[in-house]
Amino acid sequence: MASKRDDIFSVIHVGIHLFSFVLMSLQAQLVSGDDTCAKEDIRNAYLQAFSNVCHVNVEKTLKRSMKSWNLADDDLLVSTFPIDPDLNNYVREVKEAVFSIVKPISFKTPLHLVAYSKEVLEEILDMDPSIVDEKDFLDFVSGTEILKGTTPLSHRYGGHQFGIWADQLGDGRAVLLGEYVNRKGERWELQLKGSGKTPYSRQGDGRAVLRSSVREFLCSEAMYHLGIPTSRAATLVTSSDPVMRDQFYDGHPKAERGAVVLRLAPSWFRIGSLEILERNKEFDLLRRLTDFVIKQHFPQIDMKDNDRYLSFFSHVVSQTAYMIASWQSVGFSHGVCNTNNFSLLSITIDYGPFGFLDAYVPSFVPNSSDDEGMYSYDKQPDVGYFNLDKLRIALMPLLTTSQNNQMKVILQGYVDIYKKNFLTLFRNKLGLAGEQEQDEFFLAVLLKIMEETKSDFTMTFRNLGDWKVRDMKMYSVPDDLWALHQLENHKYFKQWVKMYVDRIEFVQIPDEMRMKKMKNTNPRYILRNWIAQTVIEQAENDYFEGVRQLLTILQNPYVENEYAEKMGYASQPPKWASSLRVSCSS
């Protein structure tokens, strides 16, 4: 087997060969007298040669077999925190521990790899896509086998659910396989969702069904490519093992196919991770966990600073405000904004009964289990404040009286931070440059018109980016801009368009620049519920190509795709789409 030193010299040799070829070609040009662009050619050719060398190097680092791939030797979670001493897997209340050791429970029927994210395998896990053909790979991502020397864990946490303290919750169907440090030095935690019972399963079976797993897998990747802070998804595996679910809690349970998602995040700690420790007066463990999160994920904070918890809270407040403003900017409604579903790193996690807006209805509630609409689209910013306040309370035992008072001031800043991010994101959606005092009113008028006409949220902004200013001035809406036709009969829309033209021309934005900016900001394709339902039904009948094709589209949401257009993914949603319901049953 070649050593790393041999690999390095091999790469250098290839690089020298490529660069020598480039120089010979350019010398020939100069000798012939063709030196018009010689300097630029040298630069471009050098960059291409260097790129080729780097490409060879990356290919050599990607693992093609599970035999040469492994999780991190230094498992920080296992070495840092107390582990539940009871190794038996039964539902119980756990004290003075952050994790319980739990092995995934394998499926009994044959496994099928529904889909995988090539990008996640290559860029995060350092895996060559060919590895998916290995049985060892399928065994790993399904929970059938764990890697030698690793300690699978389920996390203990609590949380406020729909505003009420629910006490111990925890990973009821998730198992953390371990940590991976990739070639870029990034540390990722790998977790299986749907891998069977844990001590935190309560009355559940620890499984997940294919229906909900398709949604989580696709949405994790869709959100990333929309620029939203999020966990990632590597693989989706299903079997024919029956999993009983009463999807709408109406007394009609049925057997569905079991599935498991391998998902990744820099950390799976959430607000509820700290809440459970504060509630149970486990203050030493509370300090240890908080310090760990700060040290590992907030390197800008000095661990010797007595005010480090204030700095930590300030960062979480700011980042959570940005995350929720980002949700609003793409019409995303999470569905279960409990404190146990809010990451301490302010990334979107736990994709359950989520939904993207079709028509702009601010009171949209994606979760049919949310009878009171507590987590509707328009209430998400307020829920963010509520959850951050619960984080503030959880940190109180670590603070002095003066520091606790400062925490309240920090939290009050959330509103302005959210508002600033919201306006910035929506200015970008409208292709606007700079800031004008009337922008907030200008945006509010548009959103009110959209609400009253129930225009399509995503395509309204996309179509505005396809509408030329010269046509706006004549109030001429091209036929293919269907979302704008939903708006044009509103009594104030024509006036708003004039305001929009004035705002564009006031800062002298070239129209081509505005349109390009808007195309790169406003997606053409999002994971609408009806689109997800279509590929779910296909997958339930063993046709997995629909999931794979949709993943490719969602990884390029701003680029027009021939297949997506054929399927109507950017057209008006079908009438049956409005009757779809999703719930917490998954």
pLDDT band per the 50, 70, 90 thresholds, residue 48: low
**Parallel/antiparallel/unpaired status of strands 232-245 and 174-181:** unpaired
Angle ∠(225,229,235) on CA atoms, nearest 5? 60
C-alpha to C-alpha distances, 568 to 5, 115, 470, 559, 565, nearest whole angstrom = 53, 22, 29, 15, 5
Q: What are the φ/ψ torsions at residue 360 (nearest 5 degrees)? A: -80, 95
What does the pLDDT look like over 170-209, one tens digit per residue? 999 999 999 999 999 999 999 999 999 999 999 899 999 9
Percent of the chain whose predicted confidence (pLDDT) is above 70: 90
- At 71, give phi and psi (nearest 5°): -80, 170
Give the phi and the psi of residue 473 in degrees, each rounded to 5: -60, -30
Three-class SS of residue 431?
Answer: coil
pTM (2 decimals)?
Answer: 0.90
Of the pLDDT bands very low, low, confident and very high (cuts 50, 70, 90), residue 246 is confident
Count of other CB atoms within 10 angstroms of residue 22: 17
The pairing of beta strand 232-245 with beta strand 254-265 = antiparallel
Q: Indicate the DSSP class of residue 148.
A: T
Determine the pLDDT at residue 25.
Answer: 45
Q: Using CB atoms within 10 Å of the CB of residue 216, give its burial: 0 to 12 exposed, 13 to 18 middle, 19+ buried.
A: buried
Q: Under a CB-based contact definition with an 8 Å cutoff, are residues 244 and 255 in contact?
A: yes
**Strand ranges, E, within 374-479:** none
Task: Please compute the mean of the pLDDT values over residues 413-420 and round it to a whole number.
Answer: 98
pLDDT digits (tens, 9 = 90+) for 444-455: 999 999 999 999
Contacts of 382 (CB under 8 A, 6+ apart): none
Q: 290, 243 in Cβ contact below 8 A?
A: no
Helix (H, G, I), strand (E, B) or coil at 562: helix
- DSSP H helical segments within 268-351, as ranges? 271-279, 283-297, 308-329
Identify the band that residue 250 occupies on the pLDDT scale cut at 50, 70 and 90. confident
pLDDT at 3: 42
Give the confidence band of 24 by pLDDT, cuts at 50, 70, 90: very low
Amino acid, res. 267 = S
pLDDT at 58: 58
Q: How many Å apart are CA 140 and CA 35, to the nearest integer?
A: 57
How confident is the model at residue 131, as a pLDDT? 98
The tens digit of pLDDT for each residue in 133-182 reads: 999 999 999 999 999 999 999 999 999 999 999 999 999 999 999 999 99
Domain ranges of the chain: 68-268, 273-427, 432-520
Residue partners of 508: CB distance under 8 A and separation at least 6: none
Q: Tell me the Ramachandran region of residue 240: left when phi exceeds 0, alpha when psi lies from -120 to 50, beta otherwise.
A: alpha
Predicted confidence (pLDDT) per residue in 473-506, tens digit: 999 999 999 999 999 999 999 999 999 999 999 9
* CA–CA separation, 228 and 221 (whole Å): 10
Mutual angle of helices 439-453 and 493-506, in 10-degree steps = 150
* Nearest of 272, 393, 410, 261 to residue 343 by alpha carbon: 272
DSSP annotation of 556 reads: S
Mean per-residue pLDDT of the chain: 91
Helix ranges (DSSP H) in 32-90: 38-61, 76-80
Query: What are all long-range contacts of 543-552, with beta carbons under 8 Å and residues at least 24 apart?
Result: 544/112, 544/114, 544/115, 547/114, 547/115, 547/214, 547/217, 547/218, 547/236, 548/115, 550/218, 551/115, 551/117, 551/217, 551/218, 551/221
Alpha helices in 244-307 (DSSP H): 271-279, 283-297
Query: Residue 29 pLDDT > 90, yes or no?
Result: no
Residues 120, 30: Cα–Cα separation, whole Å: 45
* Dihedral angle sign, alpha carbons of residues 357, 359, 363, 366: negative
CA nearest neighbour of 195 among 143, 241, 256:
143
For residue 367, list its beta bridge partners.
Answer: 582
Q: Are 344 and 317 in contact (CB under 8 A)?
A: no
Residue 248: what pLDDT? 75
Helix (H, G, I), strand (E, B) or coil at 358: coil
pLDDT exceeds cutoff 70 at 57 = no
CA-wise closest residue to 236 among 267, 256, 259: 259
Distance CA(466)–CA(446), nearest Å, equals: 17
Cα 97 to Cα 280, 369, 522, distances in angstroms? 11, 32, 45
pLDDT at 346 over 50: yes
* Distance in angstroms (rounded) separating the CA atoms of residues 534 and 530: 6
Q: Which residues are paired to 116 by β-bridges?
A: 235
Helices 271-279 and 380-395, packing angle to 10 deg: 40
In this prediction, residue 32 has a pLDDT band, given cuts at 50, 70 and 90, of very low
Nearest to 290 by CA among 161, 197, 397: 397
Single-letter amino acid, residue 110: P
Res. 13: pLDDT tops 60: no
Token pair in block for residue 520: 């790169």
**Bigger pLDDT: 177 or 48?**
177
Tens digit of pLDDT for each residue in 504-536? 999 888 999 999 999 999 999 999 999 999 999
* Six-digit token string for 555: 């990884």
Q: Is 152 exposed, middle or buried (0-12, 13-18, 19+ CB in 10 A)?
A: buried
- CA-CA distances (angstroms) from residue 436 to 19, 424, 440, 442, 503? 51, 11, 8, 10, 9
